[in-house]
Amino acid sequence: MTPGGAIIEVENLRKSYATDFWKKRTRVLDDVSFSVGENEVVGFLGANGAGKTTTIKIINRLAFPDSGTVRLFGEDGVARFASRRRIGFMPEQPYFYEYLTGMEFLGLCGRLNGMGGRETRRRAVAMMERVGLAAAGGMAIRKYSKGMMQRLGLAQALLHDPELVVLDEPMSGLDPMGRMDVRAIISELKSAGKTVFFSTHIISDVEALCDRVILLDRGRKLAEGTVAGLVGNEVQFIELVFSSPPGGEAGPDMPPCIRFSRAADDLVVRVRNVDDANLWIAKMGGRGSKLRSMTQVKPKLEEIYVERLSGTAGGEGRDAS
Amino acid sequence: MSSGSPGPPAVRGGMLRRVLSIAANTFRETVRNKILYVILAFALFVIGLTWFLADLSMGELTRIIADVGLTSIHLFGVTIAVFLGITLVSQEVDRKTIYLILSKPVPRWEFVAGKAAGLSSTLLLTTALMAATLFVVHFLYGGKAEPGILIASAGIYLELVLLVCIATLFSTFTTSTLSAMFTLALFLIGHLSTHLVRFGGQSKSAAVRAVSSGLFYLLPNLEVFNLKNGVVHGEARSLEALAGMVGYFACYGGAVLLLACLLFERKDFK
Ligand SMILES: Nc1ncnc2c1ncn2[C@@H]1O[C@H](COP(=O)(O)OP(=O)(O)OP(=O)(O)O)[C@@H](O)[C@H]1O
Ligand SMILES: [Mg+2]
């Protein structure tokens, strides 16, 4: 399915939580399967409470599924202990030992990762620099702001130069510059041959960064595919803008259109395809109206996302591509 | 981003290095905690006060210093162990700092062992400090060195480490508040268990006798670690008795920690 072999293979994950002792268990994940291939950047989308964090926790062995399996680097079970050295993980809203400084924390991470002292030091300095915390390395984490903690979370995930990076909402709580940094870091990871799996609510980031998207809805996988595959490469409509014809309103014998509206001095016409557009141009030209602009409009992932998620209330999940 | 060298990454050091790193970090956490210094300052103050207490009372003054001083070391040690011990694991779970540790190549039992070892080192430091203070006060007052104070303090230290193991066990599955209450309850029961068994053993019902002796083996018997009377009344403790104490400590503490690790192994973090 993916070139270069799968790095993460998630199969039929089911997970339920007992909210109250005598109440029914609530199902959080229902038969979720997907895989992430080598050197892919995969986005994990879904509404609040869809089960993204739960899935990511199961991948990192912080929670255990009721049934189903997770294979990392083609291994599962006991062997996964060794493979954890190859993963960098940043949890949702990471929280640190507040009595440590940023650099002390990275030092601890290096020792737990089995890195040498000098290598840890070198990488820690480089990563603090990369996430924009170079000046805060000696400051107690107690004094960090939310966004600084988020950045430190990213630095510790990348410290040991892992092959697979799993990030739970890396952009949340970051300022616009911080988000740009994280985008750049994810792109760099991709070009360095790494694999990235991250959850997010920011769809423009997914469009900009991801090779593939997995869409989760209330514990079920709703769709999986490339951004283009999900969105479809088809043109949704063509928008034509004409100057108002001197001869007045458009008559009843106009070519087919989706929508016809007036904006200031202009007529805005939405048509389905190029043939209709040509008919309109010929017709309006005959009336002395000029074509001012013509735009092909493709659907955005955001629209697909909203449509899919709102279209499933009580309905069956559909699969894309 | 520097790209990694091909092949699996080299892993420096093994289990011991990770456990020691977690222990060192826990030690650092506790010695950067202001509560520790408040309790410790108060404890040293009280131990210093025994000097004046001895002046006020009748009888064998140095004995009173040893008695009150060792009791202070015991109670303040328990306070430190419980205050710092309850937050040991449960706070890491509550605050989710544990996510960042256990997602690294660190088996869960190493985390539990490292936390317990770290707190035990803090207690070693504080108990040693209190014991040394008492030793000096006693020496200055009586003009005679009393090594029994140090031996009795070592017994207290073993009891504190056992309490840390128990607190660790509770904090792997309950909240900090509940684990503090359970640990304190076991501390009290642990000093009364010999009495409880004596009462139970006098019962006519065989079932009650069986249950009471069962409980005796299940609950910690913390009186084992009480060497105070030996010092105060000048009774020497035999080497065998000390070895028995250490053996009991190793078996009971080991079993409790093992249970904590097993419970922790399949825990879901919320
Ligand atoms: N420890 C828990 N006990 C009970 N229910 C839980 C627990 N953890 C998660 N849940 C439930 O599981 C569901 C999924 O939660 P999860 O955190 O995975 O969502 P998410 O997709 O990450 O949402 P968000 O976008 O808000 O981060 C939610 O309905 C939540 O209430
Ligand atoms: Mg989440």
Atom 13 of ligand 1, nearest CA residue: A49
Q: Where do the H-state alpha helices sit in chain B?
A: 15-31, 34-56, 61-85, 87-95, 97-102, 108-142, 147-171, 176-201, 206-218, 228-232, 239-265
Q: Is the full-model pTM beyond 0.90?
A: no
Residue where the block lists tokens 């249970």: B259
Coil, strand, or helix at residue B58? coil
pLDDT of residue B100: 95
Per-residue confidence (pLDDT) for residue A314, from 0 to 100: 42
Q: Which residues pair with A263 in a beta bridge?
A: A266
Q: Which long-range contacts (CB under 8 A, 24 or more apart) does A122-126 make?
A: A123/A159, A123/A160, A123/A161, A124/A155, A124/A159, A126/B2
Cβ atoms of A126 and A87 within 8 Å: the answer is no
- Structure token pair of residue A127: 């990563």
> How close B97 gets to chain A, by Cα (Å)?
5
| Contact at CB, A111 and B4, closer than 8 angstroms | no
pLDDT band for A313, please (50, 70, 90 cuts): very low
How far off is chain B from A222, nearest CA to CA, in Å?
25
Which chain B residues in 6-35 lie under 8 Å from chain A, judged by CB atoms? 8-13, 17-18, 21-22, 25, 28-29, 32-33
CA–CA distance, B210 with B214 (Å, rounded to integer): 6
Nearest C-alpha of chain B: how many angstroms from A201?
A: 21
Contact (Cβ atoms closer than 8 angstroms) between residue B267 and residue B112: no
Q: What is the pLDDT of residue A79?
A: 56
SS3 label, residue A256? coil
**Higher pLDDT, residue A151 or A207:** A151
Q: CB of A54 closer than 6 A to ligand 1?
A: yes
What are the chain A neighbours of B29 within 8 Å (beta carbons)? 97, 99
The span from the CA of A238 to the CA of A232, in Å, is 15
Q: Which residue of A has its CA nearest to B8?
A: A86
Length of chain B: 270
d(CA B208, CA B211): 5
A82-108: b or e for each residue (b if 16 or more CB lie within 10 Å)? ebbbbbbbbbbebbbbbbbbbbbbbbb
A48 lines ligand 1 (CB under 6 A): yes
Cα B151 from chain centre = 16
Q: A257: CA distance to ligand 2 center in Å?
A: 43
The DSSP annotation for A174-213 comes to --HHHHHHHHHHHHHHHHTT-EEEEE-S-HHHHHHH-SEE
User: Residue B241's CB: how many other CB atoms inside 10 A?
Assistant: 12
Partner residue facing A109 (CB), from B1, B96, B104:
B104
Nearest CA to ligand 1 atom 25: A48
| Under 8 Å between Cβ of B252 and B180 | no
A191 lines ligand 1 (CB under 6 A): no
Query: What does the pLDDT read at residue A77?
Result: 56
Q: Do A87 and B103 touch (CB under 8 A)?
A: yes
- Quick: pLDDT tens for A56-115: 999 999 999 999 999 998 876 555 677 888 999 999 999 999 999 999 999 999 999 999
| pLDDT value of residue B195 | 77
Bridge partner residues of A90 (DSSP): A167
Q: Do B4 and A91 touch (CB under 8 A)?
A: no
Q: Do A156 and B100 touch (CB under 8 A)?
A: yes
What residue segments make up the domains of chain A, in order of their start?
1-86+163-231+299-321, 96-149, 237-297
Averaging pLDDT over each range in A144-148, A237-241, B239-243, which range is the top one? Answer: A144-148
The pLDDT score that the predictor gives to residue A316 is 40
Q: A302 vs chain B: nearest CA distance in angstroms? A: 30
A59 neighbourhood in chain B, CB within 8 Å: none
Q: How far apart are CA B98 and CA B91, in angstroms?
A: 9
Which tops the pLDDT comparison, A200 or A263?
A: A200
The number of beta carbons lying within 10 Å of the beta carbon of residue A294 is: 16
The amino acid sitting at A48 is N
Q: Tell me if A51 CB under 6 Å of ligand 1.
A: yes
CA A46 to ligand 2 center in whole angstroms: 9
- DSSP three-state, residue A101: strand
Atom of ligand 1 nearest to the CA of A26: 5
Residue identifier of the C-alpha nearest atom 31 of ligand 1? A49
Please give the structure tokens belonging to residue A16: 């339920």
What's the CA-to-centroid distance between B95 and ligand 2, angstroms?
16
Task: State the nearest Cα–Cα gap between A39 and chain B, in angstroms.
Answer: 13
**Count of alpha carbons within 13 angstroms of residue B102, beta-carbon side:** 27
Tokens (6 digits) for B60: 């064998």
The residue whose CA is least distant from atom 27 of ligand 1 is A48
- Residue B91 touches partner A, C-beta closer than 8 Å: no
CB contact under 8 A, B25 and A100: yes
pLDDT confidence bin for A10, thresholds 50/70/90: very high
d(CA A75, CA A61): 14
As averages over each run of 10 residues, the pLDDT of chain B (270 residues) reads 44 80 94 88 88 69 82 92 80 90 93 94 95 90 82 94 92 84 90 77 78 80 86 72 92 95 89
Ligand 1 contact via A116 beta carbon (within 6 Å):
no
Q: Which CATH class is domain A1-86+163-231+299-321?
A: alpha beta
* C-alpha–C-alpha distance, residues B118 and A99, integer Å: 15
Measured in whole angstroms, how far is the alpha carbon of residue B140 from the centre of its chain? 29
Q: Which atom of ligand 1 is nearest to the CA of A52?
A: 21
Decide if A269 touches B, using CB distance below 8 A.
no
Give residue A80's pLDDT.
63
CA distance A117 to B12: 9
Strands A259-263 and A212-217: unpaired
**Between A108, A109, A116, which is nearest B12 by CB?**
A116
Distance from CA of A141 to the nearest CA of B (A): 12
Cβ contacts of A158 on chain B, cutoff 8 Å:
1
The Cα-based distances of A160 to A60, A127, A155, B117, B248 in angstroms read 16, 10, 10, 26, 43
- The sheet carrying A291-297 orders its strands as A259-263, A266-271, A237-243, A291-297
- Residue with the smallest CA separation from ligand 1 atom 3 is A17
Ion ligand 2 neighbours, Cβ < 5 Å: A 52-53, 92
Q: CA distances (Å), B92 to each of A2, A30, A275, B86, B102, in order? A: 38, 29, 65, 11, 11
Q: How far apart are CA B157 and CA B163, in angstroms?
A: 10
- A99 and B95 in contact by Cβ < 8 A? no
Dist CA A35 CA A71 (whole Å):
9
CB contact under 8 A, A163 and B269: no
- Residue B234: predicted pLDDT: 66
Residue B48 in 3-state DSSP?
helix
Q: How confident is the model at residue A2 (pLDDT cuts 50, 70, 90)?
A: very low
Backbone angles phi, psi at A68, to 5 degrees: 100, 170
Q: Are strands A25-37 and A6-18 parallel, antiparallel or unpaired?
A: antiparallel
Residues 6+ apart with CB under 8 A from B147: none
Give the number of other CB atoms < 10 A from CB of residue A293: 10
* ipTM topping 0.90: no
Q: For residue A248, give the 3-state DSSP assignment.
A: coil
Segment (H or E) for A92: none
A117's CB contacts (< 8 A; 6+ apart) are A110
Q: Report how far apart, in Å, the C-alpha atoms of A280 and of each of A145, A251, A253, A297 are.
A: 57, 12, 11, 17
**Is residue A315 very low, low, confident or very high in pLDDT (cuts 50, 70, 90)?**
very low
Distance CA A3, CA A35 (A): 11
| Interchain contact A125–B (C-beta under 8 A) | no
- Per the listing, tokens 């991801």 go with A210
pLDDT at position A76 is 65
Work out the end-to-end distance of chain B between its first and last CA atoms, rounded to an integer number of angstroms: 33
Tell me the residue length of chain A: 321
B262/B252 Cα distance (integer angstroms): 15
Cβ atoms of B108 and B102 within 8 Å: the answer is yes
pLDDT 10s digits, A116-133: 999 999 999 999 999 999
pLDDT tens digit sequence for A168-198: 999 988 998 899 999 999 999 999 999 999 9
Cβ separation of B102 and A61 shorter than 8 Å? yes
Residue of B nearest to A65 (CA): B268
Question: Which amino acid makes up residue B258?
Answer: L
Mark yes or no for CB contact A109/B22 under 8 Å: no
The pLDDT assigned to A105 comes to 96
User: What rounded mean pLDDT belongs to chain A?
Assistant: 86
Q: Is the pLDDT of residue A317 over 50?
A: no
